[in-house]
Structure 1
Amino acid sequence: MTTFAPKTYQSQVLDSVEAYFKACHELPSPSIAFTATTERLWGRGNTYNPLSGFPSDMPYFCLRVPTGGGKTWLAAKSVALVNTHLLRCEHSVILWLVPSKPIREQTLRALRDRQHPYHTALREAGPITVLDLEEAKSVTRATLDTSTTIIVATRQAFQVEEEECRKVYQSSGALMHHFDNVSPTQRDELLTEGEGADRITPYSLANVLRLRRPFVVVDEAHNNRTELAFDMLARFRPSGVMELTATPDLERTPSNVLHSVSAAELKAEEMIKLPVVLETEPNWQQCLADAIGRRDALHKLADDERRAGAAYLRPLVLIQSEPRRAGVDTLDFERVKNELITNHGIPASEIIVATSEEKGLEQIDADYKLGIADPACPVKFVITQKALAEGWDCPFAYILVSMASLHSATAVEQLLGRVLRQPGASHRQARALNQSYAFVVSRNFAETASALRDRLVAGAGFERREVNEFVTAAKAEQSRLDLEGHAGRVVVRPVAITLSEKPDLKSVPKQIRDKVSWDGKLNTLTISTPLTEDEAERLKASVKSETAAAAIVEAAEVSRTTAIEFFQTPAELGERFRIPQLALRIQGELALFDDPEELEYPWDLSRYDAAPTADDLSALGAGFKVSEGGEIDVDDVSGRVISRFLPDLQRDLGLVYQPENWDEIRLATWLCRNLPEQSLTHASKQAFVAAWLTDLLRRDDVTLARANLQKFLIRNRLEVRIRDLRKQAVSQAFQQTLFGEDAASRVGVTDEYAFEFHAQAYAPSRDYDGRFGHFDFRKHFYGRMGEFDSKEEFECACWLDIQAQQGSIQFWVRNLVRREGSSFFLQKADGRFYPDFLCQLPGKADKPGPILAVEYKGADRWLSAEDDRLIGGLWANLSEGRCRFVMVKDRRWDWIEEYLK
């Protein structure tokens, strides 16, 4: 079986999904739960947008994951969470929708393959069955009753004009047994045909789905999300909808983005190759030659690393040629292939063509066991025209070559997606092998860079602020013209020259006219935006005298050189920012303290009272009432009307998934097996669960049948109870280890374990948008800056930057929360503390100065932050003067000033 270790950001995505599902049951409605969950996770609650045509309180959310982030694996892993925490049942129906037939076939193969990580992730939900839509039309009741059933289909299959769609609603004798002994409540919810006495209820797959309340997974949800096919899903009475996409709709029909992963997070965890190093060249043959030279250099690096033990890697070039057009001279695939063979001596065996007519990729997959990644495969160049085959994976793609600028948005987005993926999701020693490359036939670098950034945003799911730093110029002279890449950190001084004649600006292209202006009174031409050499040549043709032409050429050179003043951040200047971390001495060796489970503590459930609490009994009572059709309409505390969606869903699932008549021992065994508490011995957990269940069943209003029906709710209550007890034990050990006598012998702050803010690994979930005011931050470590939680926190950042500009601080960073690779934290007993700001203080000679951590707390949260003050103070005290910590409230900047001396 293929092993697959999830990345930290993937675990965080799944944690967010679980938190939302739990909140759906704990709060009055899934919409309130969404806002509350995003508030708790990200510091600002997102507004919930109901999905048109569906119940307004149906759980509906989106996971935003850029290209290369593993969306399909996350979807497969989420199925167990759907069953356990949302539906609270052992088995379910998952309707898994994909954008096309090739993706459907690829998804079906992977989900069915027992060696594939997708299948392994699905198996966490228990027994599973994976079907296509045709197979689902004859699915048996036994299959649905005994396994979680995944039905993979395209969204187009549910368009009215499609034959597949019509068959979903047709009666079938093969499905008749699904409708035996349905209750009146269930029958009332089924679709019917005909009128009056002729009305019938068809034995259709649509009605089977209505009985089973499928959960819908929409892969690549951005593709035609508003089409009728999506609206028709409401007819199946879904239990919820989860979208996964790199580019969610945030305007027309806004998606509810529960968790957004950034490209910087993927880079930090070695999933994608960044930055994209861009080079433009007007001569297509030279552009191709440059790309070949880059590929050869990368191949040499890969071979060197392989000899040192790294995995096999053969860097590939993806070339986007022009389509053929009758009577027009184009750079089509034959011309490009001929150039490679004739002028560069590339063997024909190293080139394949992938177009609608040429099926080179399919042949490679047929000829080699590992496809194009097979060491025996000689291919180094793939020439395509529009787009590659959907779903085709290209693990070795490194270089994109576009023969005609970036004219075909879809093709460029798709090819970029192939190039960005890091082979084997593993970091390489050579920096050049951790980057992507783009060579484009173009005269205008800035325009091409802008178009490439647009493609990364529109197709790969990058944040607009991220792409500025993730597209960089290969050549220094081209970098100077990339003003967008230095957004907010560049000053362009207009260049004015006096001319003896008025230039004929109407004769030059609009893109050049937009960069200049003519003052007829002063006879001056002002260049407001840098001109390239080509643009200068075009502009000088607008005047007749050689003197005026020479003046224009000279002024244009000034406009793109000395007239541009760049402001570079400390990260861009190559400064290092390393923060010593807390380390724990384990068996005489120091190890990073990032998990309280590393502490030694007595943990035995037999020491605790194994009985349901009052809260447990209250929750179970409400659960029994819902499952038996009772009404719960108003929250006694708030007076708010509670959503009926989840209670009705629980009732429907209880009717269709009838539990077996288990005895007390079998129920206790099931509960133990489904309580994921790795820190306990099985015997300890089994004894606690058996005693807890026995105490519950002694109560007059709880029967074994009732408990069996609500075993998932009981499991959840037990999980909460055990987790709370473990927290108590951990807190005691944490207090003793870190703050007891001789704590210094057990804990240390060391440079051996230091967090480093890397130049391109800063990934805010939200950039600061100016909502608390505007300030020209000059000393922040990065060009981007994470959002602030309050106006006071923003003012604190302004104060720190002023001190930095005056020399008291070298530079500082807005620390982020829960962002792997971007966040410094101090481990606590029950979570992590992320200080708001980290400052590098000035050092002496070649020795860096101390690190100052600053946390701003509103007065209303001061008392609850005692444990943050304690761990921050401990970190500073154990650092031997290398670290300082201060917590501030009420704008007491003088408290910080004390630590700057």
Structure 2
Amino acid sequence: MSAINVFSAKPYQNQLLASVEAYFQACHELPSPSIAFTATTERLWGQGLAYNGLSGFPSDMPYFCLRVPTGGGKTWLAAKSVALVNTHLLRVEHSVILWLVPSKPIRQQTLRALKDRLHPYHAALREAGPLTVLDLDEAKTVTRATLDSSTTIIVATRQAFQVEEEECRKVYQSSGALMHHFEHLEAAQRAALLTEGEGSEQTVPYSLANVLRLRRPFVIVDEAHNSRTELAFDMLARFRPSGVLELTATPDLERTPSNVLHSVSAAELKQAEMIKLPVLLETEPNWQQCLADAIGRREALQKLADDERRAGGAYLRPLVLIQSEPRRTGVDTLDFERVRQELMSNHAIPADEIVVATGDEKGLEQIDTDFKLGIADPACRVKYVITQKALAEGWDCPFAYILVSMASLSSATAVEQLLGRVLRQPEASHRKAKELNQSYAFVVSRNFAETAAALRDRLVAGAGFERRAVAEFVMAAKPDQKRFDFSSGKLIAHPVTVTLSEKPELKAVARPIRDKLEWDNKLNTLTIKAPLTEDETEALKATVQSPAAVAVIAEAAEVSRTTAIEFFQTPAELGERFRVPQLALRMQGELQLFDDPEVLEYPWDLSPYDANPTAEDLKLLGAALKVSEGGSIDIDDASGKLVSHFLPDLQRDLGLVYKPENWDELRLATWLCKNIPEPSLTHASKRAFVARWLTQLLSNEGYTLARANLQKFLIRNRLEAQIKALRKQAVGKAFQQTLFGEEASQRVAVSDEYAFEFPPIYAPSRDYDDRFGVFDFRKHFYGRMGDFDSGEEFACACQLDMLAQKGRLKFWVRNLVNRDGSSFFLQKADGRFYPDFLCQLPDHDGQPGPVLVVEYKGANGWTNAEDDRLIGGLWANLSNGRCRFVMVTEKRWENIEAEL
């Protein structure tokens, strides 16, 4: 599990963390964490998702899942989430985090990385402040002082909490080392502890379980697949968690559904240069030839890597991972010894370039011992890794480029795991040679279609790829195998019907061949419904006797795999470019992209503003105090609905155990300044505003410094919201003046110098699933299509496609929202406007035609869309005819036609 290059976060990682922060804030703003989940997913993705409670846990406990495919940096994201948990959910300086991993090897590696001050995981954790990382054994003697003064991460396997495990029993055993945690407890705290015995014999064990119950740990489940089907997960409820965060590539969506808050796509990872895609697949029935082809590919990649290194690129030695067959007594198998012998004898590969990693052979462990950087060390010569089932858990090397399977992908787990190794991009950075940004699979198999389908299944089941996206990510390396790639969705096979002089004995052929055929007894015709391979053709020819029938079958089969096949390709696949001019600002005489209102020149200082808590601030602080003192608010005045008790009870418990220090006003103001990130302000300006605001707060009746210390996180949030609102006002004025004031045309421009180009890969957060109707879209720029918000929007898309089929548009695209690098937007003062559709008009005199932006608004949305109409109109007006903009409502399609 080597450190990924995440010192500067990738766009998708920032977006994911922003989603976590938004959910935590909504948990406090809305009546319950379950309502907050639905509201947050609605705000983020345009569709509110139902919340699924966890069996055995409080129904309103914050519980959510982050779906990140293989290679996306799940562990780093988990580490970054800890500061968000403390600040925005628990509102405490220190917390206990119970960090669960799937196995002992992963636990050791996670502990090592989280404790290593030079590791990116530790750096991400440190954002939460002082830090202590422990294993479960060390946690059994943890001191109260440690928990009071640092965020404490306890790393354990999920299996450690199974009843039959010795580790689990020790968690519940009384220990004198933990006795001091139970001194001077309040009655409410004592009532929450686990007890032993009955009646007068009842005792409270000084156990780690009870320490955890007092501290209300937040649970992070790293690699969370299937954990909720285990008893171990239910056992966690006994520690009274404050919340549960799962990170996984493959969340459970059926049996015990996860609440997927944010889903990262494989296309986003590819765009962020985290993984090598597509996977180019070759099948070859002869195992020796298959291995030889893989060796040839490795040598070609090595040459490209060496050329790049001579030009100043990073060191790279492409590796081949070979999955051999397990040995079986009395059966001739392609086991690791036979494969190693083939490499050495027939290909003259030196022994020190081959390593074997099986249950008994520990070659990889030895390499990690011998070389500082393990297998990636330039001093290491290994180029071929032969494995049998799966590699050692946690072993990772992005130098792996080629997967060779001797076993026709029969071992699903091993293939998933090896594919995961092969997908990771070396040092997570783009290489100049296209071939070094792709992965390769060589499989011993006669059936390409079956193998491609199996490989795609493995990417979905193991690596967490979306089913609709995976077709684009496994491609035939050889053109002649491309025609058998039925699961790609790009192949249209037309049936071939011939008349035969005799009835073929179809029962004699294997079922997969029979499924491709149809015999009509009345007409004596054989229909080949799907292309037949040469091997399948031979089997079919054997079902007839006469040379004439054999000749007819041979000719029909040849047609089935050549002229009867049609490849459907989208404009993007055909190499069309779709570039859209963007808004740019002239700053100090130079044009620059307008993608952030912060670049506007505006007077921004807090000194002119009154630094006073608002009536809303005082109301919220008063309600929070009532909660912390043991009261609760049962009914929400606005909705009349019962309000969740989970978070109020949690805040009270944390207030009892994490006693705030008695800071003076100066120290509290310093802490607030440090914890309100606002890079657009000078420190002096922020400090003066915070100090004045705090003084005003403390002048309110009944408001003491002790109370301010108790509520400092809530005060921080209210201050941050007020400063953001004031800055928004200042930005809004500057935006209006710069873009719409006098002589705006001299400051703002729309030109090809700054143009957004739609990338080759399209990754909607949700694909359209025919919920508003079925339509055969033929002119969409991509093969996939993002979902629509309404039936009217779907009708608008149908209208655009029909116009394109008539030649009035060249092609169009369903624009995505909030997908960095994949979405076109126009910057507004308070956010970004992502139009629904962009259309390329037909070429004129050899030049691309104008671009038309179409935004659809339902009757309710029209009145709130004035800002969108203004910025869209400005963009079109400044483009010298290159761009056009129309906002449509009530299905007035004639407004679109008027712009063509």
Q: TM-score range by the shorter chain?
A: over 0.9
Letter in structure 2 aligned against 1:314: R
Write out aligned runs for 1:145-184 (5 A): 145-184=148-187
Instruction: Say which of 36, 52, 58 aligns to 1:33.
Output: 36
CA shift for structure 1 position 701: 2.4
Correspondence for 1:604: 605
Correspondence for 1:91: 94
Cα contact 1:99–1:223 (8 A) shared by 2: no
| 1:403-446 deviation digits (Å, cap 9, x = unpaired) | 11110100000000011111111111111111111111111101
Q: Say how many residue pairs are matched.
A: 897
CA shift for structure 1 position 141: 0.1
**Quick check: 1:744 aligned with 2:738?**
no
Cα contact 2:485–2:491 (8 A) shared by 1: no
CA shift for structure 1 position 867: 1.1
Correspondence for 1:894: 894
CA distance in 2, matches of 1:5, 1:382: 32
- Structure 2: gaps (5+ residues): none
Write out aligned runs for 1:513-524 (5 A): 513-524=514-525
Write out aligned runs for 1:516-535 (5 A): 516-535=517-536
Correspondence for 1:330: 333
CA distance in 2, matches of 1:874, 1:515: 57
Compared with structure 1, are the counterparts of its residues 846 and 313 closer, same or farther at alpha carbon in structure 2 (3 Å cutoff)? farther
Residue 874 of structure 1 aligns to a residue in which SS? helix
206-215 vs 595-604, which deviates more? 595-604
| 1:706-762 deviation digits (Å, cap 9, x = unpaired) | 111010000000010000001111111111222222222222223232211122x20
173-182 vs 518-527, which deviates more? 518-527
Write out aligned runs for 1:456-855 (5 A): 456-485=459-488, 487=489, 489-759=490-760, 761-855=761-855
Cα contact 1:762–1:821 (8 A) shared by 2: no
741-750 vs 621-630, which deviates more? 741-750
CA distance in 2, matches of 1:151, 1:189: 21
TM-score (structure 1 length as normaliser): 0.98
CA distance in 1, matches of 2:320, 2:149: 48
Residue 464 of structure 1 aligns to a residue in which SS? coil
CA distance in 1, matches of 2:389, 2:866: 60
CA distance in 2, matches of 1:879, 1:77: 42
CA shift for structure 1 position 570: 0.6
| 1:588-646 deviation digits (Å, cap 9, x = unpaired) | 22222211111111110111110001111111111111111112110011110000000
CA shift for structure 1 position 648: 0.2
Letter in structure 2 aligned against 1:753: Y
220-229 vs 391-400, which deviates more? 220-229
Write out aligned runs for 1:279-298 (5 A): 279-298=282-301
**Quick check: 1:438 aligned with 2:441?**
yes
546-555 vs 144-153, which deviates more? 546-555
Cα contact 2:158–2:227 (8 A) shared by 1: no
CA shift for structure 1 position 666: 1.2
Residue 794 of structure 2 aligns to a residue in which SS? helix
CA shift for structure 1 position 585: 2.3
CA distance in 1, matches of 2:290, 2:599: 55
Letter in structure 2 aligned against 1:639: G
Instruction: Say which of 270, 275, 282 aligns to 1:272.
Output: 275
CA distance in 2, matches of 1:548, 1:118: 68
Letter in structure 1 aligned against 2:228: R
CA distance in 1, matches of 2:599, 2:321: 47
CA distance in 1, matches of 2:611, 2:335: 75
| 1:279-307 deviation digits (Å, cap 9, x = unpaired) | 11111111111111111111111111111
CA shift for structure 1 position 580: 1.5
Cα contact 1:527–1:556 (8 A) shared by 2: yes
Letter in structure 2 aligned against 1:535: E
| 1:72-91 deviation digits (Å, cap 9, x = unpaired) | 11100000000001001100
CA distance in 2, matches of 1:252, 1:399: 35
Residue 282 of structure 2 aligns to a residue in which SS? strand
Cα contact 1:268–1:820 (8 A) shared by 2: no
Cα contact 1:272–1:425 (8 A) shared by 2: yes
Letter in structure 2 aligned against 1:871: I
CA shift for structure 1 position 3: 6.8
776-785 vs 473-482, which deviates more? 473-482
Letter in structure 2 aligned against 1:531: L
CA shift for structure 1 position 128: 0.7
CA distance in 2, matches of 1:126, 1:447: 52
Cα contact 1:581–1:826 (8 A) shared by 2: yes
825-834 vs 491-500, which deviates more? 491-500
| 1:358-390 deviation digits (Å, cap 9, x = unpaired) | 111111111111111111111111111111111
Instruction: Say which of 61, 66, 73 aligns to 1:70.
Output: 73
Cα contact 2:402–2:422 (8 A) shared by 1: yes
Correspondence for 1:7: 10
Instruction: Say which of 395, 401, 404 aligns to 1:401.
Output: 404
| Structure 1 consecutive aligned stretches of length 4 or more whose deviation exceeds 4 Å | none
Cα contact 2:483–2:491 (8 A) shared by 1: no
Letter in structure 2 aligned against 1:334: E
| 1:815-864 deviation digits (Å, cap 9, x = unpaired) | 00011232111111111111100111111243111111111111211121
CA distance in 1, matches of 2:744, 2:707: 50
Residue 241 of structure 1 aligns to a residue in which SS? strand
CA distance in 2, matches of 1:601, 1:722: 16
Residue 605 of structure 1 aligns to a residue in which SS? coil
Residue 606 of structure 1 aligns to a residue in which SS? coil
| 1:233-253 deviation digits (Å, cap 9, x = unpaired) | 000000000000000000000
Residue 131 of structure 1 aligns to a residue in which SS? strand
Cα contact 1:505–1:542 (8 A) shared by 2: yes
Correspondence for 2:418: 415
Tell me the C-alpha RMSD between the 2 structures: 1.1
CA distance in 2, matches of 1:743, 1:361: 64
CA distance in 1, matches of 2:546, 2:354: 52
CA distance in 1, matches of 2:744, 2:433: 41
CA distance in 1, matches of 2:283, 2:336: 20
| 1:305-331 deviation digits (Å, cap 9, x = unpaired) | 111221111111111111111111111
Correspondence for 1:299: 302
Cα contact 1:54–1:234 (8 A) shared by 2: yes
Correspondence for 1:232: 235
Cα contact 1:353–1:383 (8 A) shared by 2: yes
CA shift for structure 1 position 477: 1.6
